[in-house]
Amino acid sequence: MKKLILLLVLIATRGAVIAQSIAPFHAGDRVVFVGNSITDGGHYHSYIWLYYMTRFPNMRITCVNAGIGGDVVGQINDRFEDDVFSKKPTVLTLTWGMNDTGYFEWYRADAQDVMDKRIQGSYDNYALLENKLKQRPDIGKIFILGSPYDETSKFSNKNIYPKKSAAFSKVIDFQRDAAKRNNWGYVDFYHPMTEINLREQAKDSTFSLTPNDRVHPDNDGHLVMAYLFLKAQGFSNKVVADVAVDAKSKKAVKTINCKVSNVTSSADSVSFNYLANSLPYPIDTIPRGWGNRKKQADALKVVSFTKEMNRELLAVKGLKTANYDVLIDGEKMGSWSAEQLSTGINMAEITITPQYQQAIQIRELNEERWDIERRLRMYVWMQFDFLKGKGLLFHDTNAAMDTISKYAKKDIFVNGNKDNYTRARYKSLRDAWQKEMDVLTDQIYAINKPQSHRITIIASK
């Protein structure tokens, strides 16, 4: 077992040490995230968009979910025109491979031969998709080397598929090489997340970023994925804002991504107007999504998201030795010593600040948008993964409904999407859902502009 862990660490390190760099998104970009269930039902793309919503409030982009649960790359290729290009992307991300590398097939006596042929078929289908991508030089391409299958966690003895991990690792290498060959960007989730799993499992053998079935990341895993994506875009060590004020000189001595004005002070206080250009990232503390048990906030235990990407720093120099209350717009945020304030505090960790409360509203609007988008993705799943095979793609007729009702009795996936389809098959409902998402997005970009606040530091009584 120790040898296996060492081998996996070496595999993880090999990918992790290679610095990746992809271009940040630009104003007006439509970013379509293409993939399987990890994209379809997951949050990483929503978390990435939330970062842009709060960090770049005046730069509007659009992020679109184009994942379908269960898809292999051949299925992704088959729906590319109708479900990806139709969304008019300026940038698209592509991830595949988890389903291509099988599950229960690995228990067969001839598993290796069966899976070798299947994976070769996936490579052949990818070649067809690559040709389509080459025909669209107007679209930026980013390959996502997917989140790993976790075979080492001891949280249960279920869903352990011998040799799947090794096969998936080879597919990941294939994807990386394809991206390099075409000079397309890529972001590696696979190796860093494997490294985190192994590191944390050395302390707790039941730890996993995919704690439900070894395949699907929970909310914490999706923040890790967003963190890795944003890191590849160059946002590590970019502050929300960084301000330092000298109480004695009544001057701002540092203003990064913010403005300070009207500095006043007395014997035991200093006060000033503060306007940041960005809002802090509002970390979620509620498990979201069907079947998930972990919170987005749990990711802060395993990656340095706060230190690297969520710092709204406030420092006050020249205060007399004492304890001080920090007030924003007259409301107390907490108390710190003169020494702590001189070093600086991170306001992004104070959830009651008016700017953090403003960001929470954006998060909740974005979550509502995400939830509606999930209904549309469930509808698309029914179209491409079921009705297409019955010759009923986009028919949405009574015959289609009858066929779904018939197969739902024995197909758990069809049954799980049946109720949603009873509504989504009507275009008027789908149009209304899209309008709801548009309204929510408009509201986000209407309220995400930072406001000016009066910050007062006064000696505690």
Cβ density class 414-431: b for 16+ within 10 Å, e for less? beebbebbeebbeeeebe
If one counts every other C-beta atom within 10 angstroms of the C-beta of residue 18, the result is 10
Per-residue model confidence (pLDDT) at position 17? 38
Same fold, 2-232 and 241-356+449-459: no
Query: For tokens 């998201």, what's the residue?
Result: 305
Given this model, what pLDDT does residue 10 score?
Answer: 45
Phi-psi region of 259 (alpha: psi -120 to 50; beta: other; left: phi over 0): beta
- Token pair 């209904």: residue: 375
| Contact indicator for 324, 337 with CB cutoff of 8 Å | yes
Mark the ranges of the chain whose per-residue pLDDT is less than 50.
Answer: 1-18
Nearest to 83 by CA among 405, 417, 382: 382
DSSP 24: P
**What pLDDT is recorded for position 111?**
96
| Residues contacting 391, CB < 8 A, separation 6+ | none
| For the chain, domain boundaries | 2-232, 241-356+449-459, 358-447
3-state helix, strand, coil in the chain (%, to 5): 45, 20, 35
Q: H helices of 41-83, where?
A: 44-55, 73-78, 80-83
Q: What is the DSSP string of 279-345?
A: -------S--STT----GGGGGGTS-HHHHH--EEEEEES--SSEEEEEETTEEEEEEEHHHHHH-E
Report the distance separating Cα 143 and Cα 32, nearest Å: 12
Instruction: Give the pTM.
Output: 0.95
Sign, CA dihedral 380-382-388-391, equals negative
Structural fold of domain 241-356+449-459: Immunoglobulin-like (2.60.40)
Work out the end-to-end distance of the chain between its first and last CA atoms, rounded to an integer number of angstroms.
59
Q: What CATH number is given for 2-232 in this structure?
A: 3.40.50.1110
